[in-house]
Structure formats: C-alpha cells, structure tokens
Structure 1
Amino acid sequence: MAITVTAAALPDVKLIEPKVFGDARGYFLESFNAREFAEKVQSGVEFVQDNHSRSARGVLRGLHYQIEHAQGKLVRVVEGEVFDVCVDLRRSSPDFGKWVGVTLSADNHRQLWVPPGFAHGFVVVSESAQLLYKTTDYWYPEHERSLLWSDSRLGIEWPLTGAPVLAPKDAEGRTLAEADVYE
C-alpha cells in the first residue's frame, strides 16, 4: 500500500494519503492495509464496523462521540467534498478542547485517523458527499454524545455560507463546559 502519513495539528490525529495509480482508464488505490496501518499509523487497532453516510450540501453531522466504548474512526470520502473536524476530549491531554479540520474529498483520496477520545464531525461543501468510515468499536446509542458544533469556546471555523442543516441531536449538542469527556 505505500501510504504517506502526516500528523495533523493535533498530533494523535493522522492524515493518510494513499498511493494512487492512475491512467487513461481511471485509477486504483488500496484503501486499507492492516499491516501498513499498524506500522505507520497506530498498532493494535482492530476495526469492527464499516459505516456509509450520504449527505447534501450544507449538512453538518456531529460532533459525535461515545462516552463509553470510545470509537477510533478511519474516515474517507468517495463522492464529493467535506470539511472534517476532530476535537480532543481527553481531559488529560495537553490538546484538550482543541480542534483540527481538514478537507477530505473523492479527488484528494485523503483519509483521516480519528483516535478514540475525540469528537468527530463534518460539513458537506460540495453538492453532495458520501463518506465511508471504519470504527474500532460498535455503535451504542445509549453512550452516544454530541458536542455542540457551534460552541464559541471551541471556535471551529466551519466553511459555511449559511445556517447548516442539522439533526435535532446535533442542534441540541452540549458545550465543552457541559459535555461528558474522557479522563
């Protein structure tokens, strides 16, 4: 798989760029290789669930996390473009409450490793977008939490041209000061 891995502004979050082999027919890339992931991103990770999301322009999903059964996520976009955000919710981390945002698109083929202990979300900036992401633990709705996407303490610079389209749980997310966080 020949991937390039770069630490994001929050060093535990990793930006992964696969080698893309393209020609007149199209392209090929290896989207996941467990051996190379363990060597270059993080060892000991086991993915147990794959998720697929499709959203229209302006839809903002997140910022989601599970307070128990924390999930690591390997995120990629296969249609369109999103601005993807991670927030460190580990109280013991020097980066607690800080965020990082990156553009993921079907054209740039980038992937983002979001380790357990982070809230995750994205906003669609293209006409529509489809995301595929692997998780390290199963979804437990009773442990799911939403961090308020617009919390002024976080100061996330979402690339929005108007009000985002939100699910009720995201509109009612908690601020960092109110949120359940990790130790």
Structure 2
Amino acid sequence: MKFIPTELADVWLISPKRFSDDRGYFSETFKHNLFEQAIGRSVSFVQDNFSHSLYTGTVRGLHFQKPPFAQGKLIKCLRGRIQDVAIDIRKNSPSYGRSVSAELSEENGNQLWIPEGFLHGFCTLQENCDVAYKCTNYYSSECDANIRWDDADLNVEWKVDSNNVILSKKDKTAPGFADFDSPF
C-alpha cells in the first residue's frame, strides 16, 4: 500500500497494491496499523457509507459535518470513475480555501483520505458509479452543512460540464464560500 501526500497537508492519496492472476485480482484496501503510521495519527472508523450515481455529471457536495460530529473520510470508487475533491476549511491553515482532487476509479483502486476540517465532494465521470467511504464519526443532521460546489472563490477545476450537472435539492441551494464562517 502506497501513501502519497497531496498538495494539502493531511490529505493523502492511497494506492493499494493489487495481486493479479487469471481469476482477477486481490487487494488489501485498508490496514489499520499502516494507515495510522502513514497519516501520523490515531483513527477509528465508526460508519460506512455507500452511494450509487446513475448518471455522468452527478455532483455530490461540497459537504462537511460541524463539530462535535466532524468526520474524517476514506473514500474509494468501487465501480465507475469519479473526481474526488477536498477543500481545506481549517481557519488557521496556510492552505485555507485551497483544494485538491484525485481521480478514483474501479480500475486504479485508489482511495483518498480526507480528515476533519475539509469540505468533500465528487462528480461522476461516467454512468453507474458506486462510491464507498469510511467515516470517523456518525452522521448528524444537526451538524450537516454544505457549500456551493461551483463557488468561484474556491476555484475548483471540475471535470464536468457545469451546464449538465445533476444536483440534489440541498446542493442546488447551498450557500457560498464568501459568507462562510468555518467552525474549524
């Protein structure tokens, strides 16, 4: 398993090793001791989430959970291909407001670790995408929040045509980043 640092401190791209033969392949996708050693902190996952997106151009995000239910997430794409995005919203961070993205796919098997204090979102780059993620805290509707996915202040280079994006009602009405007061 390779742990590759990204441009944002504390966000990691994880590339599990695959062992292939004529039947397919085998891969260890999570190993607690290696994970904690690489990211330099103790982590406990308490909830697994799964989403299925039917259409190319589906955007889910940008979401986060406020303390005391802030969540770190380990994201992987089980089927299809997505662009996964993390944005630093830690007030005192030198990278506040900056983003990083990675293509996660069934084919590459890569995962993205996004700790607490980051916005998270993804867009589907093809039809029928399945995404799974482990979370370090439980979902709380009272602590659930979001920011507009295409906010110009965030300057995310999405790999999707903004005229054909598919959004939830919640994401269509998300507030902008300029008025955002981060709880982190």
Contact 1:67 1:180 in 2 (8 A): no
Post-superposition shift, 1:42?
A: 3.6
Distance 1:152 1:32 in 2: 35
Q: Partner of 2:44 in structure 1?
A: 46
Contact 2:10 2:39 in 1 (8 A): no
Q: Partner of 1:124 in structure 2?
A: 124
Distance 1:7 1:35 in 2: 18
Post-superposition shift, 1:11?
A: 2.2
Q: Partner of 2:135 in structure 1?
A: 135
In the alignment, is residue 90 of structure 1 matched against residue 99 of structure 2? Answer: no
Post-superposition shift, 1:125?
A: 0.4
Post-superposition shift, 1:112?
A: 0.3
SS of 2:34 mapped into structure 1:
helix
Q: Partner of 1:25 in structure 2?
A: 23
Identity among equivalent positions (%) equals 40
In the alignment, is residue 35 of structure 1 matched against residue 36 of structure 2? Answer: no
Q: Describe the shift of the 1:42–1:130 C-alpha distance in structure 2 as closer, same or farther (beyond 3 A).
A: farther
SS of 2:164 mapped into structure 1:
coil
Distance 1:126 1:163 in 2: 13
Post-superposition shift, 1:180?
A: 3.6
Contact 1:85 1:121 in 2 (8 A): yes
Q: Partner of 2:70 in structure 1?
A: 70
SS of 1:92 mapped into structure 2:
coil
Post-superposition shift, 1:12?
A: 1.3
SS of 2:44 mapped into structure 1:
coil
4+ aligned runs moved over 2 Å, structure 1? none
Q: Aligned ranges for residues 127-166 of structure 1 at < 5 Å? A: 127-161=127-161, 162-166=163-167
SS of 1:35 mapped into structure 2:
helix
SS of 1:37 mapped into structure 2:
helix
Distance 2:35 2:157 in 1: 30
Contact 1:54 1:129 in 2 (8 A): yes
Unaligned runs of 5+ in 1: none
Q: TM-score, normalised on structure 2?
A: 0.95
Q: CA-atom RMSD, angstroms?
A: 1.0
Partner deviation per Cα, 1:70-119 (whole Å, 9 max, x = no partner): 10000001100000000101111001001111100000000000010001
Code of the residue aligned with 1:30 in structure 2: it is E
Q: Partner of 2:168 in structure 1?
A: 167
Q: Partner of 1:111 in structure 2?
A: 111
From 3, 6, 10, the equivalent of 2:4 is 6
Post-superposition shift, 1:9?
A: 1.4
Post-superposition shift, 1:177?
A: 1.6
SS of 1:145 mapped into structure 2:
strand
Distance 1:51 1:180 in 2: 27
SS of 1:43 mapped into structure 2:
coil
Distance 1:129 1:141 in 2: 25
